[in-house]
Structure 1
Amino acid sequence: MTTPAPLLKLNNGVEMPALGLGVYQSPPEQTVPAVEAALKDGYRLIDTAAAYGNEKEVGEGIRRSGVDRDDVFVTTKLWLDDYGYDSALRAFDTSLANLGLEYLDLYLLHQPVPLEPEPWVVAYKAAEKLLADGRVRAIGVSNHTPGLLRTLMDSTEVVPAVNQVELHPYFIQRELREVHEKLGITTQAWSPIGGITRYWQHAPNGGRSALEEPVVTDLAAKYGKTAAQVVLRWHIEHGLCAIPKSVKAHRIAENFDVFDFSLTPEEVTAIDALDTGLRSGPDPENIRLDTFGRRTR
């Protein structure tokens, strides 16, 4: 029997699995079988976004899996093109229709837009209305720094339940996690295994992989696990939610097989020491509506 992922209680009492499947850059034709396989392997969290272009396929994968909809935690995100109040509400309706669902578990603003704050802030106010109307169980943000969280919260009412950010052994986001703890925000990690340090053309650590670091490979050998499983377990030990992406059935299963071992506090600290403090993805402070376009992440 597959061991279920532990549940993280959000600041409004909703529970979210601590490990899920991300579908960033998953081609539509590969998304359906990936989601179906993940749910059959025990995953109960699926993370997508309007900008990924595969919401319809995520919905189809959920239906094909045979898992009851109420047992699956589904997240999607509002893209910058639809920031604004009425436009955000319309975009939500489109995402819900694409997914073929009657409600969402979590709705996130995909990026902050600090240089053009009005559409960004009112988009979050639209998400607050969706929450009040019961159309989504929790709302939050993605890619927000501590300062940007404060800016948004100064003009809105609902504290984000989740902030989904780049987080992996090379970029552990210690300061942000401390701010989240004080504010009651759950930290969710995209690119949790650190793949962005290899595929993002502007990554300062381009070509490096945390999966090849001796501290990780030695722990993998000690526990009879893969390097990726060790890194995902590191996220679990920190109380984070991780959403690794894969379209390969064996890799999807492997990524979920992390609940039969634990890392010691000293081993967690040793992986923490890989931190470079360098972000590989886009700088949230410099995102603009007119230049970021339909780019994802």
Structure 2
Amino acid sequence: MTVSARSPDRVRLEGADFCLPSGDRMPAVGLGLWKIPPETTAETVRAAAANGYRLFDSACDYGNERQAGQGIKAALAEGIRRDELWITSKLWNTYHRPEHVRPALERTLADLGLQQLDLYLIHFPIALRYVDPALRYPPGWFDDPAAKSPAMAPDRVPLADTWGAMEALVEAGLTRRIGVCNYNIALLRDLLASARIRPSALQVEMHPRLAQPKLLRFCHEEGIACTAFSPLGAQSYFQLGMADPQESLLKHPAVNSVATAQGRSAAQVLLRWGVQRGAAVIPKTTRHERLSENRELFDFALTAEEMATLDGLDEHRRFNDPGVFCEEAFNTFFPIYE
């Protein structure tokens, strides 16, 4: 049986924003900061803000939050108001114990030069042994990179304990909203059953090769905003050896056929597909011309037939899979998906 991703019941696309159940408006297109080199991050963020970007997706693990903060500071100096921006960051795996959650966010806020985040996410449902920031920051995946046989060191921390500490961050005014990344429906159901503060957002890998219609529909019906990372598919994974260039959606005949019919680029078609399904998208780029192109999604719409064509590319191909890359890169078998 095919399950379609219906129009959001409680998260609605309005112009270039999604309207959340709270009435807040989240930009439908943002800039993802993963893999942007630190030396170019500040200027990229400043340029993106000048180009109209208002959502910036960061994380401790990306290793460029201090530079992102410099870019935000420059954007504010150029006249953009703080309340116009939506800044997201993420709690890293080594900070899941409740006593480490607030210090982790305080470090992120200091690096970004902010008093409060708009959204703070649990990066993975993976708890690793604590690494003191004075020893190594960002801590990465290895427990001890200098060990003879370095590996990850899982920690026995219930996800509910971490979420309770996340709720305390909202109550302390350090972040306006909290959410999760890389959760499946079962984990979301468990979280919703016990949470005092419901998750505002879920961030997951999502593109036509990994459409995840059931997960997207569940989020819509629960009023959880969904953000698609890697919305262009395999592009970010070639240099990491996690994808084959033949898997590129930008070169897929079906994608390019739709692009030709629409008079748009393949990237715009893929991003419009994501937004039109009801997900925010956070493509990464450092090229100024791509910054403009990736935001130009709201003066056209894909037809029902074109959407069905792209839906039909789904092959459940996950590029960012800890069950694969943790063993290959970090000598530890650590699956979180079946």
Which deviates more from structure 2 when the two are superposed, residues 113-122 or residues 66-75? Answer: 113-122
Tell me, yes or no, if structure 1 residue 35 matches structure 2 residue 45: yes
CA contact (8 A) 2:268 2:294 kept: yes
Q: What's the TM-score once normalised by structure 2's chain length?
A: 0.79
The percent identity for this pair of structures is 38
CA distance in 2, matches of 1:94, 1:292: 30
- Residues 103-252 of structure 1 correspond to what in structure 2 (within 5 A)? 103-113=116-126, 118-194=157-233, 195-196=235-236, 198-203=238-243, 207-252=246-291
Q: Residues 64-101 of structure 1: CA distance to partner in whole angstroms, max 9, x if unpaired?
A: 12221111100000101111112000011110011001
The CA deviation at 1:282 is 1.6
Mapped partners of 1:69, 1:225: distance in 2: 32
Q: Give the stretch that moved more between structures: 192-201 or 222-231.
A: 192-201
Paired positions, count: 289
Cα distance, 1:155 vs structure 2: 3.9
Aligned counterparts of 2:71 and 2:62: Cα–Cα separation in 1:
15
Determine the C-alpha separation between the residues in 2 that align with 1:152 and 1:20: 26
Equivalent residues in 2 for 1:40-119 (5 A)? 40-65=50-75, 66=78, 67-113=80-126, 118-119=157-158
With normalisation by structure 1, the TM-score equals 0.89
Deviations 1:108-162 (A, max 9, x none): 0000038856353322211111112322111100011111222333443222111
How far apart are 1:165 and its partner, in Å? 0.3
Identify which of 287, 294, 301 aligns with 1:255.
294
Alignment equivalent of 1:23, drawn from 14, 25, 33: 33
Q: Which runs of 5+ in 2 are unaligned?
A: 1-13, 128-153
Equivalent residue letter for 1:70: D
- Please say which structure displays the higher CA radius of gyration: 2
> 1:1-33: CA deviations, max 9, x gaps?
xxx962112343322100000010111111111
State the secondary structure of the residue aligned to 1:70: helix
For 1:155 and 1:285, locate their aligned partners in 2 and report how far apart those are by CA, in whole Å: 31
CA distance in 2, matches of 1:176, 1:30: 35
Q: Distance in 2 between matches of 1:96 and 1:197?
A: 29
2: CA distance, partners of 1:109 / 1:284: 18
Q: What do the CA deviations read for 1:205-247 (whole angstroms, capped 9, x no partner)?
A: 6641111112211121222211001111111211110000011
